[in-house]
A and B are shown apart, each in its own frame.
Chain A
């Protein structure tokens, strides 16, 4: 918070040394607005300068020290007074004294550990920020700058599919399969639902993505469930032996990576909920956890190369599809 009070002489500004080249990422604020912040990864150096500007250059600015901090903290909304800092670095910029003119201070936090991803949720917030402080007798001058941290995962070597047979005895038996158990944020969930036994009158079937945010420990655990997506995959009544395919593109939804027990304070987990609804609006469902990961950005090949790969994948399944090649001569070649 910076104080724009009556009689305030000093203004602080924080500028990163690589502000021109560093990428920015969108992140939702607590109020739900989307804003862009500088993006950092674990281990990266955070460097820049603090600019102290005197509004009235003739008046002296007496102070008890100037410092800059890099802080990573977890804030539980129901317990705002207690911030849990898991990263706290400080650099003193100036000893107590006085200023008669504006000044700039360089700082560098080398190879800063940023173990967790920035997260703004329903009941908890994890944020990283720089804070410059001019300590004074009565009130400090403070300036904060939030940054966003992403944690990347390498693609897991073992990524088995999820395949299960579930049902109500003698009533409804299905076998569902999802091609993987770990998905990245721009991945596609490919799956199928196979009906082994259908003795109820099904009207339609959908798949929901549910986000569960868990805060607190022990007896004070609180789960907040949020349905991020509802995607209808079948309309009508299936019979025994039918297979319904699933193809759900995750890039269209606001998802974060799965976060397990972050600093022992909170978790964010995702579940696929398969829901069948019968003609009397009764709901039958099966929930299954999926792990979401953030993958490093893939270098984009040209569009035509991507299209070529996609068509190879498609034509691999239909052996009798005739592929048109550009080398076939056009019919009216050579005509005037």
Chain B
């Protein structure tokens, strides 16, 4: 017996009960990228540091669910430029280029100083995790090549992954 309701009906709308496999299953947004194991290779002027980049994910847009590649700082710069040109996202900043550290007559190891390499490693890890999680960046071929192919082909054809 409903008299004219002078009080608003605030009952919840009909909710579909959640499937238990959905409720307790692994989340579908798993994406983790670790940057570790820095190694300095080469001699003299051609010396550089490269980092191991390991990616684990269950996002279907990535072809490989696990991948492991080696990348150097200039590869990250290349990726930043490609994304700034082709995608509409605001690309987060990279850790510094440290030009001062590359000048001669320094008291320390310059850019091969352990503490600097660790600082840079952390910055690169933050950078790549932010980008890889961005739905618009995930559409770019350059990101997939960077994360999952052994070598970066600088002559590649830029484009989108999804139609």
Contacts and interface: CB of A to CB of B under 8 A. Distances in A.
Q: Are A and B a genuine interacting pair, yes or no?
A: yes
A206 B19 CA distance: 25
B133 A200 contact: yes
A245 B133 contact: no
B134 A239 contact: no
The winner among A170, A191, A299 for most chain B CB atoms within 10 A is A170
Contact of B29 (A194, A199, A280): A199
A177 B13 contact: yes
The winner among B16, B18, B134, B135 for most chain A CB atoms within 10 A is B135
A291 interface: no
Contact of B18 (A169, A171, A243, A282): A243
Nearest to A312: B2
Given A239-B22, A239-B25, A280-B134, A170 B8 contact: no
B6 A309 contact: yes
B41 interface: no
A239 B11 contact: no
B135 A171 contact: yes
Contact of A241 (B2, B7, B19, B29): B19
B12 interface: yes
Contact of B59 (A191, A199, A301): A199
Nearest to B20: A241
A190 B133 contact: no
Interface of B: 2-3, 5-13, 15-16, 18-19, 22-23, 25, 27-29, 59-61, 130, 133-135, 138, 162
18 contacts: A179-B13, A190-B9, A190-B10, A190-B13, A191-B13, A198-B27, A200-B135, A201-B133, A240-B22, A241-B19, A241-B22, A242-B22, A282-B134, A306-B7, A309-B7, A313-B5, A313-B9, A317-B12
